[in-house]
Structure 1
């Protein structure tokens, strides 16, 4: 028996009683759509928003009318598109019934928020995949720490190289030598990035960069996503 769960959202996808379970999938989704505390939406098989509850609408800063029919990727920072596509592809081709992935979404006033997303495959009474339910669990950050960035480009090429060096543990002296800068020049670029990502120090800068998808979690040495470089 395979059970898919996201908080209180649980679906049984065992072979026995597939039709009954599929109907239950749809019914459970409908009953949870407006439940307080769940940031929830349904997507069609082209990953366009079909329905969204009040929490989801508020989190992403759109009206229901402007959300309906919009590609889900338009609500995400480009830096997380790659891993998100891979997860959705596994749902769509039947390799998985559920996934949990890191999320960097774009909310009101272009403020980037981070958190987790659960994607769940929901089947029609015929047993065919009917829609994808997404449950977003944003991290609880106060507005003062919200990062407001351009959706596509927030770093210069030099910023990106310095951030990659910091993430590998390079010193200011080493960075200055390798990038043909003065120590003051390196510190200037580091200070600019600290302000942009609202990080108090270098360790927090690297952590915030990973959480936003600026630094890819799938590469070593660390690499800044081209989507963030001007």
Structure 2
């Protein structure tokens, strides 16, 4: 009995090693679509690590293009039908919208047992996501944001820009309201995300202003 258990562990480890090396994106999900296990190729399509996919719903990661496909599959699984199911999906990866098919095979040790789903992703193509136009701000606002990103206080920002402390605060409040930023940390993060501040540059600098 102990020998059988050890052999089972060995084969399980071998299977997991093969699972991780498969170039095709593959995941094992429960019958509701929650990810139990994902290989690196599947995680790469989601821009994350395999462990971070655990518990995520595969149909939230890959959006179905037709709701009726999902409904038909749900009915078939409730009736314990054992077929390969396909869902046309879309998702974002590397700045582009990709599209393809999820193929799900119910698997279990017996016909009576609740199946798990072996899910494979077939990428069929991609469309480049439209580029977001860079947000432009007034030169003094860009200067203030760059100073804040470098750790400057309100007083220092006032000295550097020739404004009063109240003047600096006015511009920060104006930008915070415009970008719906809750605090200065979020305001600086938004400035980078919107292209107002140049990425990978130190000391922080604006990309351009008008």
Q: TM-score range by the shorter chain?
A: 0.3 to 0.5
> Highest relative contact order (Cα 8 Å, sep 6+), 1 or 2?
1
Larger Rg: 2
TM-score (norm 1): 0.44
